[in-house]
Chains A and B, each alone.
Chain A
Amino acid sequence: MSNFFNKSDLTRKDADTIVSDTLKNCDDGELYLEESKSESILLDDNKIKSSNYSSDLGFGLRAISDEVVAYSYSNEISKDSLKSSSDNLKSTLKSIKGIYNHEIPKSNKKFYEDINPIEQKTLNSKLEVLNKVNEFLRKKDGSVKQVTASFLGEQKSIEIIRSGGESLIDVRPLIRFNISVMLEKNGRKETGVYGIGGRQSYDDYLKNENWKNVCEEAFRIASVNLESKPAPAGEMKVVLGPGWPAILIHEAIGHGLEGDFNRKKTSAFYDLMGQKVASEGVTIVDDGTIDNRRGSLTIDDEGTPTERTVLIENGILKNFMQDRHNARLMNTRSTGSGRRENYRHVVLPRMRNTMMLSGKQTQDEMIKSVDKGIFAVSFGGGQVDITSGKFVFNCTEAYEINNGKIGSSIKGATLIGDGPSILKEVSMVGNDMMLDPGIGTCGKAGQGVPVGVAQPSILIDKMTVGGTKI
């Protein structure tokens, strides 16, 4: 755990005094202190291309009065610096008369350990794994023309100091191991990407030569794409595989259920609480409490313990995801969803691990029921327009379905749909819910935060597939 005060002229007592003074007459706010250490090691083009180590330290002071949020950050932790931030906030929030909300829930549960994954494994042993990956893939098949492999490791320590001196702390490990392989055959090039990660040590992911499985999967995806044909264009049935394709839920539904967009009435869901927004049998939760997952948090970035928030239950909209600010303005409570990329950013309500729960059908039944459609197994990035509800995502592995049978693989097509109506088109929910491998980063308002997704196989009756073949 970091001690933010031992190398600074700022004492803990000074900080308490400045925070309490700044937040007097404010509705909420806090001092957020953060220290992060991170490394990235990249093998590319047969070589260790880069090894970077980075350390970052800073604070953000936030004061909230009614609907106004004033924020100031600096990466110099000193008495002067905190004071000038405080002055800046006071100059924005003139003539305020709020009552500070001291209430913040407590929990003893922790969802990951206080470890520093970077220090747990020597640099040499990491370089060794990357070199093995490169050799393994290049030996595997002559079509392998490029291999990129990387380790990303991070440890982030935070402390939240609230008015009155209450302090909340968390230490968050995070790692990611990623492989990208490019194949070339008959003049055609295709790439396959696969990765794993979470809030654990590298060894938890790489024991028993698990890196080989990651190689095999990246290679398999690239091989499938080498044989792919142009994708069809138009409206058709779509079967989504389990796990990572739940990015559909994240984009189509998740963002629209974040508190800020609904308070501001810019989300297509803002007036649908308690109403049917999905087919029966569709239940979606956002869960920050799963051990060691990429999107899990012991406490959020405002100090609220995370929880398992039911968003949609059997088709009915039940809850939005809230941070303290939006919750207060909407007369509800925080769901522990207040997150920020780092001390440079303000807190926003964000997703953690967003999951559609299992139903009763099998993937086989779904495929057999489709005359003409596609089976999407994996996706690249997605995006949503919150207001119109339209969302897209790009297939990185998909197949045609003809007369109830899986046919040839198809080229990276974009799927487009309408968030508020897509879940009403779900006609089968599989019994095979799976978590994603731990690779997701969600972007919102210029801030990236690690997230997870999960879902079973599902059948969507009508979606537009953006291929080139009419």
Chain B
Amino acid sequence: MIKDQEFLKSKASYCLDLAKKMGATDSSVTLGHSISETVNFRNKSLEASDRSDGLALSIEIYIGKKRSSISSSNLLDENIKTLIEKCFETTKITPEDEFNSLPDKSLLAEKINNLNLYDQTRFENDKKINYLKELEESAYALEKIVNTESSFTENRSNFILANSDGFCNGYKTSSFTASCVTVAKDENSMERDYEFTSKRHLSDIKKPKDLGKKAAEQTIKKLSPNKIGSEKINLIFDTRIAKGMLSAFASAITASAIARGTSFLKDKIDQQVFSKSVNIIDKPDMIKGMGSQSFDSEGVKSKTVNLVKGGILKNYLVDTYNGKKLNLQSNGRSGGTTNLYFENGKISFEELLKNSSKSLYIKETIGHGSNIVTGDYSVGATGFLVENGQFKYPVSEITIAGNFKDMFKNIILANDLEFEYSVNSPTMMIEGMTVAGK
């Protein structure tokens, strides 16, 4: 059973009281409990089951402007006491930092929004097994599929965040995730692809048949790929890659990267960063949203923020510490974005494909090729050559490269946005990027 709020609250106040008694001027504590159960399938039979039950505690202690922290999974009072003592001693000798402080009291969340983030439905392992069986059978029904692996995870979490300014709040969340990886083989190559679904509520996840079939179809399409020559070409990014661009953008506008001067978007507020048609929104209060939250990891209330409007950068992601450095108020983004998305563009997916006579559709990228200091982007990729709106043949072992500064200004978005994950994008075209191949 997941620990209730009362249990977490009593542990939290034990920590805060102890820290205060020892002489801490301020303190904050986060306590979480999470239970997750996973069943893994491979080639239509049970492969593994995995149950995890974990508690986590982290405490920050302030002595004036000095701060340090500890974390532990051991919640026995005796252990907590030892750790807080150790943390207090460490804090004493840690140098002062004028920007260290708890968040401004007036910014703290007053209530928890009812965002419907918890579904108490149990999905017993036997039911998970049936789901995965159906999923893999539908994947295997397609010719050339030689291997399938799938898993179903049911997760429940509860947490409490409390600080010495009287903030004490938390709530339960749940998630149900099913994923499928398929391998297809023909005389020329062996390829792998995947599909997954993840929702707060069990009833919202994709049907097993559809999930398996989609993974299998995507994999088979990749068989017998060609390598193409090196050239400048228009790239179309599948939604699952396009959302990665949004994540790279988000990491470049964290107040920490801006304050440290290690972002290519430093000093770009109120400037044209994207093409004029681009709007980027971070919305924390979506019902059942995978990234929804009532407050951030410091307790600051999170409201909807328009990050980019008409292509112009409007806001950074601000936490308390870096906000003080930049002279900005926290906007409840300590811990990053919530539900982040590009607003839909004007044209349909089909129109985007026909937008140029020849383009490369990118379905998967590998490598960690985003440099947020310089904006340089270079990754390995696989995809499809598109001519006159038609998919021609699969392409692999190529790299794509550019610089975000130029790429962002050349984005054209389709109107096929769906809210599946915590970061969502419609299909995206970027003109004139470099592909390296033969």
Q: Which residues of B contact A466 (CB under 8 A)?
A: 378-380, 398-401, 436
Residue of B nearest to A52 (CB): B69
User: A207 vs B160: C-alpha distance in the bound complex, in angstroms?
Assistant: 44
Listed stretches A22-30, A161-169, A380-388, A400-408; interface member = A380-388
Q: For B402, list chain A residues within 8 Å (CB).
A: 468
**CB of B35 to closest CB in A, whole Å:** 10
- The answer to whether A388 and B189 touch across the interface, beta carbons within 8 angstroms, is yes
Residue of B nearest to A462 (CB): B438
Q: How far is the CB of B39 from chain A (nearest CB, A)?
A: 8
Question: B187 contacts the other chain (Cβ, under 8 Å)?
Answer: no
Shortest beta-carbon distance from B150 to chain A in Å:
13
| Contacts known (A52-B71, A412-B378); A266 close to B147, Cβ less than 8 A | yes
Q: How far is the CA of A382 from the CA of B397 in the complex (A)?
A: 14
**Chain A proximity mask over B376-393: 1 for CB below 8 Å, otherwise 0:** 101110100000000000
- Cα–Cα, bound, A54→B59 (Å): 10
B232 near A69 (CB under 8 angstroms)?
no
- Stretch of B92-100, B236-244, B290-298 at the chain-chain interface: B92-100
CB distance from B244 to the nearest CB of A (A): 13
Given A190-B374, A234-B230, CB of A418 within 8 Å of CB of B434:
no
* Inter-subunit contact A48/B87 (CB<8 Å): no
Residue numbers in B under 8 Å from A388 (CB-CB): 189-192, 222, 382, 396
Query: Which residues of B have CB within 8 Å of A45?
Result: 259-260
The answer, yes or no, to whether A127 is at the interface (CB within 8 Å) is yes
- Write out the residue numbers on chain B whose beta carbons fall within 8 Å of the beta carbon of A383: 366-368, 380
Residue of chain B at shortest CB distance from A464: B436
The distance in angstroms between the C-alpha atoms of A81 and B53, with both chains bound, is 10
Chain A residues with CB below 8 A from B93, complex form: 123-124, 127
Interface residue from B78, B83, B146, B371 paired with A55 (Cβ < 8 Å): B83
Determine the distance from Cα of A393 to Cα of B366 in the docked complex, in whole angstroms. 9
Tell whether, in the assembled complex, residue B69 and residue A51 are in contact, meaning their CB atoms are under 8 Å apart.
yes
Q: How many residues of chain A are within 8 Å of chain B by beta carbon?
A: 80
Q: Is the CB of B434 within 8 A of A416?
A: no
| B46 closest partner in A (C-beta) | A68
Q: At the interface, yes or no: B437 with Cβ under 8 Å from chain A?
A: yes
Query: For residues 46 through 62 of chain B, which have their beta carbon under 8 Å from a beta carbon of chain A?
Result: 46-55
Q: A67 CA to B52 CA in the complex, in Å?
A: 21
In contact, A146 and B260 (Cβ under 8 angstroms): yes
Assess whether B357 is interfacial by the CB under 8 Å rule: no
Chain A residues whose CB sits within 8 angstroms of the CB of B403 once the complex forms: 468
By the criterion CB–CB under 8 Å, are B380 and A346 in contact?
no
Measured CB to CB, the nearest residue on chain A to B79 is: A55
Enumerate chain A residues within 8 angstroms of B74, measured Cβ to Cβ: 55-57, 75
Q: Is the CB of A294 closer than 8 A to any CB of chain B? A: no
Q: Is A394 an interface residue (CB 8 A)?
A: yes
Those 4 A-B pairs whose CB atoms lie nearest each other, nearest first: A466-B399, A392-B380, A387-B192, A233-B436
B interface, CB within 8 angstroms of A: 42, 45-55, 67-74, 76, 78-79, 83, 86-87, 90, 93-95, 97, 125, 146-147, 149, 183, 189-192, 222, 227, 229-232, 259-262, 264, 364, 366-369, 371, 373-374, 376, 378-380, 382, 396-403, 434-438
A residues near B (Cβ < 8 Å) are 7, 44-45, 47-58, 67-76, 81, 85, 88-89, 91-92, 123-124, 127, 145-146, 182, 184, 189-191, 231, 233-235, 264-266, 268, 344, 346, 380-388, 390-394, 411-418, 464-470
Q: Can you name 5 A-B residue pairings with CB atoms under 8 Å?
A: A51-B69, A233-B434, A265-B147, A383-B380, A416-B436
